[in-house]
Amino acid sequence: MRASPTLVVGASLLALLLIISRQPSAIFNPQLFAEDGKVWFQNAYQFGPFQPLVWPYAGYLETFQRMAGAAALLLPLSLVPLFFAWVSLVVQVLPVAFLASDRLAPQLPRRWVRLLVALGYLAVPGTIGMGADVTNTEWYLAVLAVMVVLAPRSHRPWWQAFDLAVVTLSGLTGPFCIFLAPAALVLAWIRRTRSQIAVGAVVLGLAVLQAGVLVVNLPVQRSVVLVPVHVSLLVGLEMVATRMVMVPILGTPVAYYATQIDGLVVPVLVLAMALVMLTIALARGTVEQRLAIAVGMITLAAALVVQRRLWTVMLHTNGASRYWIFPMLSWLAILAIVAFRARLRWARPLAVILLSLTLLVGVPSDWEYPAVQNRHFQLAAAEFGRARPGQSVRFQEEPRGWSFLLTKR
């Protein structure tokens, strides 16, 4: 039975309400977050809407955020934080709309399973710090791009245009296309349809572009890749056990408490169990499911290598949660595959129990994000409105310590 537009719209609206419920203050007390003001909007205001579109940030292109900054110039300054919040919300909802459609029906035939996957995506624990801001939209665009690449190609022209638009925009926004390119090429080789080859070619071309931009700009970035850091493998193993495996199941507080018991005993046992589950999922999953897991693991490996100076922070706090969104979603996918497809008698009940704990313990524990603090953006916007050309006004942002200077034109 084909999904109706009403179902897709209804699922999207429900998803929107669920996202807002995790941090209502993002809508009722909107503030700019980190690079939202300091980079995306400030650059667009000071240098015009088009020139910054081709500027790399952190070593790679961030086109979507630049586009949001450019579009914000059309609005009164006081509405910019609310506009950025709604841009983020729409992007976060898009994967839910895609799951509610029938595009992934060949891989997930049961509609209720697809809607359950959408709920897992919306409610995954351990994502504090990924609220309604434009800066983190690259991660949600990447999730949508993975779904688009793995989905069977549609013969409808508007779906084909949608697919190419998503992989292009995601490919121009962050380095994720580099990690997605192998999966796109494998599917292009297996399916060998014109549309699948086109998607694979676009992803590969953008991966080459982003890799080239990284190579050119990396030496001038304050990148941790260039900073020698001594890290412990044991810290890394404990961190992966906690952030990737335990947090999605038990939520952040319980997971951090559990991994402190008996030193490394709990993390080692947890990783051993996760490795067994991963092996079963790779053996029993479809090609698309295996590729989805592979993308998550490649993303995890890249994040751990690039951000190795943050290992201690990641281990002992819930900071840098954006780097764990793909690994955590991959882990939940592994459990779902085992729950539905494993042949071992003990594996399926264990996966069901762990997924149930995610819904009953992990999700409620981590549902509510911290409230957005009032950084008095409206007062600064009013002051800026009264300023004469050439005068500058400083705007405070979330989190504390972030701010940017805007000079009146």
Contact yes or no for 62/174 (Cβ under 8 A): yes
Rounded to whole angstroms, the Cα distance separating 340 from 109 reads 12
- What does each C-alpha distance from 92 to 21, 86, 96, 175, 376 come to in angstroms? 14, 10, 8, 19, 26
3-state DSSP percent of the chain in helix, strand and coil, to 5: 70, 5, 25
Annotate 139-184 with DSSP letters as a single string. HHHHHHHHHHHHSPPPSSHHHHHHHHHHHHHHHTBSSHHHHHHHHH
Q: How many CB atoms lie within 10 A of CB 1?
A: 6
Rounded to whole angstroms, the Cα distance separating 42 from 68 reads 12
pLDDT score of 221: 56
Q: Give the pair of three-digit tokens for residue 225.
A: 């890749």
Contact yes or no for 30/134 (Cβ under 8 A): no
pLDDT score of 157: 92
Averaged pLDDT in 10-residue chunks for the chain of 409 residues: 79 95 93 94 95 92 96 96 96 95 87 89 88 92 96 92 96 95 96 93 97 82 52 77 90 76 78 94 94 94 79 70 90 94 89 94 91 92 93 92 92
Rounded to whole angstroms, the Cα distance separating 289 from 281 reads 8
Residue 246 burial (C-beta neighbours within 10 Å; 0-12, 13-18, 19+): buried
Contact yes or no for 359/275 (Cβ under 8 A): no
Q: Which is it for the CA torsion 230, 233, 234, 237, positive or negative? A: positive
Contact yes or no for 296/329 (Cβ under 8 A): yes
Q: Give the pair of three-digit tokens for residue 211.
A: 């890799």
Per DSSP, which regions of 46-94 are E strands?
Answer: 56-57, 60-61
SS3 state of residue 57: strand
pLDDT score of 229: 56
pLDDT score of 93: 96
- What does each C-alpha distance from 203 to 73, 163, 175, 185 come to in angstroms? 30, 11, 11, 9
pLDDT score of 303: 83
